[in-house]
Amino acid sequence: SVAPRKIGCPLRNELCSCKCPNSWMLLKHEVIKWKRIYFFSNLFCCNLHTLQVINEESPIWDASYKPAVSLLLQRSANSKRVHDAASAQQNAVRRPIADGSQAKKYKYSSEVEDLSNEVVLQAMRNINDSKNSRSSEVVFPVNAPRDEAAKTKESRGEIELHIVGNSLSHPVSKQSMLWLLGLHSVFAHQLPGMPRDYISQLVFDPKHKTLALIEEGRPIGGICFRTFATQGFTEIVFCAVTGDKQVKGYGTHLMNHLKDYSIQQGTKHFLTYADEFAIGYFKKQGFSKDIKVARPIYAGYIKEYEGATLMHCELHPSIVYTQFSSVIRRQKDIVKELIAQRQQEVQKIHPGLTCFKEGVRSIPVESIPGLREVGWRPIARAQRQARPLEESADPDKLAQTLATVLVAVRQHSAAWPFQKPVSQADVPDYYDHIKYPMDLKTMGERLKRGYYVTRRLFMADMARIFTNCRFYNLPETEYYRCANTLERYFQTKMKEIGLWDK
């Protein structure tokens, strides 16, 4: 072998090249490869000063060497989404009111659409009562999520999920090795196109781990994966469930657990090569053929297969995927219950229209009796020639555009009341009336965290600023006028960049 201290000596270099040319060429290619990695890191990185200094000596000789932080992780570090962003503390939007005579609030306002906690809780109680009354009729609803049965079995202890893998640094338990052998059999049987030797090489590779689904002490399915922490993604190598256990939601349950595990480990991207029979499954799990990870990040790391399709899945750090379907289902039930309550409140039979019998060809929709009472509003949507940024656009580009709008709004002369949260010491009763406060400072913090992944989230927070102001203050106050002025200015700025469709 060649010692590192001898690399710089010309005589020894010559001897090495003569006596062991193959080793010398391998070393040369190794150095070139690492220099290319540094090149790509410099080429695609926005913050060059965060990169480590290139070591001219080959890094393969340094036992303490750690690769430079990848482009993906460096970009996400600047706009890191905190895992509890959905529950982050929201601040207020209004400025203190000096004149006590102007401190009167509207008790009712047609603009305020936020529901009180009591209304939502009552809707949830009604849903629970309704489910309890018919619990004996159906064990699982017809439209139950795919993984509902699997989650129920896990809660009963009938199935278990474990992360298992081989290791060269510490002893591996006998149980883990038996599970790995069982998983090898599952993958080999369900993936006949894969050579058994190749499956053995990856399943027992210490760099790979497997999420095992255990029933009655034996593996019935699993996902073999490898995490590239420095590159910010996880490669899914094998995914299979035994034939007699398929179509029971186990595949979805496995993938949801792997997503939660990856988020806990700080990995937000999945990549996999799927054959023609697996594309449908991966699409159901949120994978897409639209790869949003730059090729230099995964090229040379992920294993490529002929006849397979590369697919990508981006994970959201604020979502608990094992509970995602239940939460969405709960939200739908609450919305349906609230709609039913609203229908009972406004239910009224109106006499039929007679104007058409009198020869009238058409009438405005808003003139139909009862429409406005049930919440109908006219849609005045202008046709735009083009929208440069859609919800599926590059998140960084969208964030940059929204930041430009936010800066312009904050610099407007009418924005002074909304710059920072309302102090409860100055306005003690403000938070008694405003349950969902918002201000420009909070929006700026959310923008930095990457909260605004779509323009509609940004527009919703901005609209909340103006809605809260008009709800709390009287129309003759300066604050009310500032809200109207700034709202018109905000809409104008959004229309200029093609992000307004109201």
In our burial notation (b when 16+ CB lie closer than 10 A, e otherwise), range 384-409 reads: eeeeebeeeeebeebbebbeebbeeb
Catalytic residue (choose from 148, 235, 337, 487): 235
Catalytic status, residue 235: yes
Structure tokens at 435: 């349950």
- Which residue blocks in 347-428 are alpha helix, DSSP H? 395-410
Q: What are phi and psi of 274, to 5 degrees?
A: -110, 135
Task: Report how far residue 440's alpha carbon sits from residue 468's, in angstroms, rounded to the nearest whole number.
Answer: 13
- Hey, what are 93's tokens? 């939007």
Q: Which residues contact 236 (CB under 8 A, 6 or more apart)?
A: 223, 224, 225, 258, 270, 271, 272
Q: Which pair of tokens denotes residue 150?
A: 């699997």
What residue has token string 């909340």?
A: 464
Sequence-ordered alpha helix ranges (H) in 290-394: 295-298, 321-346
- Angle made by CA atoms 135, 138, 143, in degrees to the nearest 5: 115
The single residue listed with the structure tokens 């959004």 is: 494
Contact 152, 253 (CB under 8 A): no
Q: What is the 3-state secondary structure (H, E, C) of 221-289?
A: EEEEEEEECCCCEEEEEEEEECHHHCCCCHHHHHHHHHHHHHHHCCCCEEEEEECCCCHHHHHHCCCEC
Do 102 and 432 meet the contact criterion of CB atoms below 8 Å apart? no
Residues belonging to the active site: 235
